[in-house]
């Protein structure tokens, strides 16, 4: 199956960093985590498939077994979605039918101040932690006799995690462009394992989150790059509930992200569900709203490379 003609191209991190003068964030812990992903996790993406296939009595039973294992491996959420051309990056091809989408929440205690050293490290830590979950889940599926492919939470994926997660019932798309989960809020990351193993799929949900975002503008007000929109963008198409999507101005967001500890301000300032998701139940002394370190935003950048569509929001007010 090939990506749809209107699918976006894969995000080119190197090209975007080049457009803002290169990588300027140097954190030893982050470098160590990236080294681990490339040298410890990447070689484990592939594995042998058991020639003896486990046969389940139904796709529902198979899905239940896979989800049970995902939770045992450390997932905080897991769901199944059928892959469509619009879920695949442009000019990419996948042979599998189903995506097992896995989510793991980030530690709220590391977002007490944003952007910060702690929040930057946490953004990478969760990628490694979640990467271990999807790699081990893939090993489990192969042990059952079904081939599969690891779609790591950071890296050159063929499929788009967010639309698949929406179809798998993870929540709704927030104003800031990230999914808001009914229990985890927006502070989590996604990875996937794709396979032809017959699985029962999950369904999208309507938890009132989109309606909440229409009236709440917390992420919009606290975005130092002024990259989050006031209005939905008809040009961006509709989400699974029929709402036009909110579309972040990547040309303003990325320069700030690239220079200030991967920013992430829009996630911890989200106030969905009275921030029940942000309470720390492991004994750490935390607050429910972070200290936000506002810095002067860099000049927007719009590199001349294949990239997804984004609106140029309020450019006249910030340039």
pLDDT digit string (tens) for 240-270? 889 999 999 999 999 999 999 999 999 999 9
The whole-number pLDDT of residue 316 equals 72
Average pLDDT over residues 172-183: 96
The whole-number pLDDT of residue 318 equals 47
In SS3 terms, 248-306 reads as: CCHHHHHHHHHHCCCCCCCCCCCCHHHHHHHCCCCCCCCCCCCEECCCCCCCCCCCCCC
The whole-number pLDDT of residue 317 equals 57
Reported as a pLDDT band with limits 50, 70 and 90, residue 315 is confident
Average pLDDT over residues 163-181: 96
Closest by Cα among 197, 175, 202, 201 to 271: 175
Q: How far apart are CA 208 and CA 200, in angstroms?
A: 25
Give long-range contacts, CB 8 A cutoff, 24+ apart: 7-10: 7/85, 7/86, 7/88, 7/89, 7/90, 7/160, 8/89, 8/90, 8/160, 8/307, 8/308, 8/309, 9/89, 9/90, 9/91, 9/306, 9/307, 9/308, 10/89, 10/90, 10/92, 10/156, 10/157
CB neighbours (10 Å) of residue 164? 26
Average pLDDT over residues 83-93: 96
Average pLDDT over residues 95-112: 97
Which stretch of 24-33, 42-51, 171-180, 307-316 has the lowest confidence by average pLDDT? 307-316
The whole-number pLDDT of residue 251 equals 97
Q: How far apart are CA 241 and CA 143, in angstroms?
A: 37
The SS3 assignment for 43 reads: helix
Reported as a pLDDT band with limits 50, 70 and 90, residue 156 is confident
Q: What is the mean pLDDT of the chain?
A: 95
Q: How far apart are CA 46 and CA 318, in angstroms?
A: 46
Q: How far apart are CA 222 and CA 292, in angstroms?
A: 8
The whole-number pLDDT of residue 314 equals 85
Average pLDDT over residues 146-156: 93
Give per-residue pLDDT as tens, 16-65.
Answer: 999 999 999 999 999 999 999 999 999 999 999 999 999 999 999 999 99
Give per-residue pLDDT as tens, 201-238.
Answer: 999 999 999 999 999 999 999 999 999 999 999 999 99
Query: Which DSSP string corresponds to 85-141?
Result: GGGB-TT-B---SEEEEEEEE--GGGGSEES-HHHHHHHHHHHHHHHHHHHHHHHHH
CB 209 within 8 A of CB 272: yes
Query: Is it the case that residue 7 has pLDDT exceeding 90?
Result: yes
């Amino acid at each position: 199956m090939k990506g749809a003609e209107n699918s976006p191209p894969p995000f080119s991190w190197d090209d975007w960093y080049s457009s803002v003068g290169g990588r300027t964030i140097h954190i030893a812990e982050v470098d160590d985590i990236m080294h681990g992903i490339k040298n410890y996790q990447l070689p484990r993406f592939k594995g042998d498939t058991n020639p003896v296939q486990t046969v389940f009595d139904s796709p529902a039973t198979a899905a239940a077994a896979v989800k049970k294992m995902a939770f045992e491996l450390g997932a905080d959420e897991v769901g199944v979605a059928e892959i469509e051309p619009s879920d695949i990056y442009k000019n990419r091809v996948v042979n599998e039918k189903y995506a097992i989408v896995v989510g793991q929440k980030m530690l709220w205690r590391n977002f007490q101040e944003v952007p910060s050293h702690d929040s930057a490290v946490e953004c990478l830590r969760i990628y490694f932690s979640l990467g271990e979950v999807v790699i081990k889940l893939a090993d489990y599926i192969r042990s059952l006799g079904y081939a599969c492919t690891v779609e790591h939470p950071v890296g050159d994926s063929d499929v788009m995690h967010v639309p698949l997660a929406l179809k798998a019932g993870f929540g709704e798309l927030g104003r800031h462009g990230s999914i808001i989960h009914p229990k985890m809020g927006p502070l989590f990351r996604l990875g996937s394992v794709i396979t032809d193993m017959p699985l029962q799929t999950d369904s999208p949900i309507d938890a009132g989150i989109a309606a909440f975002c229409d009236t709440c503008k917390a992420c919009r007000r606290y975005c130092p790059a002024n990259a989050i929109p006031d209005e939905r963008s008809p040009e961006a198409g509709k989400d699974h509930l029929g709402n036009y999507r909110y579309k972040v101005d990547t040309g303003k967001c990325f320069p700030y992200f690239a220079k200030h500890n991967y920013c992430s301000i829009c996630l911890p300032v989200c106030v969905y569900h009275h921030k029940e998701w942000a309470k720390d139940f492991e004994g750490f002394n935390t607050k429910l709203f972070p200290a936000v370190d506002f810095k002067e935003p860099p000049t927007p950048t719009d590199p001349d490379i294949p990239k997804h569509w984004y609106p140029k929001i309020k450019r006249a007010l910030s340039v």
